Amino acid sequence: MAKISAADVKKLRDATGAGMMDCKKALVEAEGDFDKAIDILRKKGQKIAAKRADRESTEGVAVTRINDANTEGVAIVLACETDFVGKNEKFVALAGEFADIALNHDSKESFLAADFGGMTVADKLVEQTGVIGEKLDITAFEKIEAAYVGAYTHIGKIAALVGLSAAVDNAETLAKDIAMQVASMGATTLSYKDFDPAFVASETEARIAEIEKENIELGRLGKTLKNVPKYISMSQLSDEVLAEAEEAAKAELAAEGKPEKIWDRILPGKMERFISDNTTLDKEQCLLDQTFIKDDKKNVAEYVKTYGTVEVTGFKRVTLG
């Protein structure tokens, strides 16, 4: 039997992260052959991974990396089964190592096939599943490129990347603020202009039906009914629709006996409210149309304009679960 020294065990443990007894057993089985011992541990990981394949990996950590030039960024989620493992320092450090590698790849597939200390990232996940005893997986991978890229991570649970059209003064602050907005408010698209008309039509029908149903119950209880909007997105508010809304507002002012000479002072506010009441989808899902989380008197587009000639070119968001 080969003599297994404490130094050999430590070397294998440092290379794989496996427990001391597992490393010693692997070295004994491999008769001291270091590479064979690594292969034994890897096969152990494969067996455990197979047993836990149907488990849900809903805990873990979200991590971002930005290159030195601030022109590329990546966000990944290294997932595990329990919050206990997700908060472990070694697990978080492993996620950081994965993110460093991910920054150099444009797809999850390429990243998983990349080298990690002599094995692929995918194999490292299997190995560490054996070491930790929980299913590990990369459940999210997002990459973004722009003239300037910034990021924000919320307590390791949500991570966001934002691309700007130019590296303006204080671009770091702007990008971080917008990334914080993305992380907090969960926009799905940049602008209402990106919506598919069929989606907007379907969503309008569903929302109107839901409000009408709620109003039946509110009416039964003798409570104030909710306003039923005809539209939910700026993409529906054509010039004709806005013109009709303005005429309706004028008719309302006339019915109220308001002098025509003061209508110009009142109409802008009424039209602003009309647009606000009929663009609820935009405020929920369109980043630029959302109320800015740090100043509820501005939307995100208005906040971006305070930085001069710069635009948000894109964003990505990853989250656990």
Residue 69: per-residue pLDDT? 97
263 φ/ψ sector (left φ>0, alpha ψ -120 to 50, else beta): alpha
One domain for residues 95 and 205: no
285 domain residue, yes or no: yes
Within a domain: 286: yes
| pLDDT recorded at residue 13 | 76
**Which of these three, 191, 215, 237, is where a domain ends?**
191
In terms of domains, do 148 and 78 share one? Answer: yes
pLDDT of residue 47: 64
Pairing of strands 137-145, 72-80: antiparallel
pLDDT in tens, 168-177: 999 999 999 9
Q: Is residue 103 part of a domain?
A: yes
- Determine the Cα–Cα distance for residues 91 and 317; give it in Å rounded to an integer: 21
State whether 216 and 130 are in the same domain: no
Same domain, 281 and 253: yes
Domain-located, residue 297: yes
The answer to whether residues 72 and 144 belong to one domain is yes
Give the residue numbers spanning the domain of 137: 59-191
Question: CATH number, domain at 66?
Answer: 3.30.479.20
CA 34 to chain centre: 41
pLDDT in the model for residue 48: 61
Do 83 and 164 share a domain, yes or no? yes
Tens digit of pLDDT per residue, the chain (321 long)? Answer: 567 888 887 887 777 766 677 778 878 888 888 888 877 777 776 666 566 666 777 899 999 999 999 999 999 999 999 999 999 999 999 999 999 999 999 999 999 999 998 889 998 998 888 888 888 999 999 999 999 999 999 999 999 999 999 999 999 999 999 999 999 999 999 999 999 999 999 999 999 999 999 999 999 999 999 988 899 999 999 999 999 999 999 999 999 999 999 999 999 999 999 999 999 999 999 999 999 999 999 999 999 999 999 999 999 999 997
Residue 47 and residue 71 in one domain: no
Same domain, 70 and 187: yes
- Residue 152: per-residue pLDDT: 98
CATH at 30: 1.10.8.10
Asked if residue 157 lies in contact with residue 276, where contact means CB atoms within 8 angstroms, the answer is: no
Asked whether residue 68 is domain-assigned, the answer is: yes
Show which of 191, 220, 255 is a domain's final residue: 191
pLDDT value for 256: 92
**Contact between 265 and 156 (Cβ < 8 Å):** no
Q: How many domains does the chain have?
A: 3
CB 204 within 8 A of CB 231: yes
Q: What is the pLDDT of residue 1?
A: 58
- Contact call for residues 64 and 73 (beta carbons, < 8 A): yes
Residue 1: inside a domain: no
Asked whether residue 215 falls in the same domain as residue 172, the answer is no
Domain boundary among 176, 191, 206: 191
**Which pLDDT belongs to residue 9?**
79
Residue 64 sits in the same domain as residue 179: yes
Q: Residues 130, 248: one domain?
A: no
Give yes or no: residues 153 and 216 share one domain. Answer: no
- Cα(6)–Cα(320) distance, integer angstroms: 39
Angstrom distance (rounded) from CA 104 to CA 98: 11
Q: What pLDDT is recorded for position 232? A: 95
Does 221 map to a domain? yes
Q: Does the residue 168 lie in any domain?
A: yes
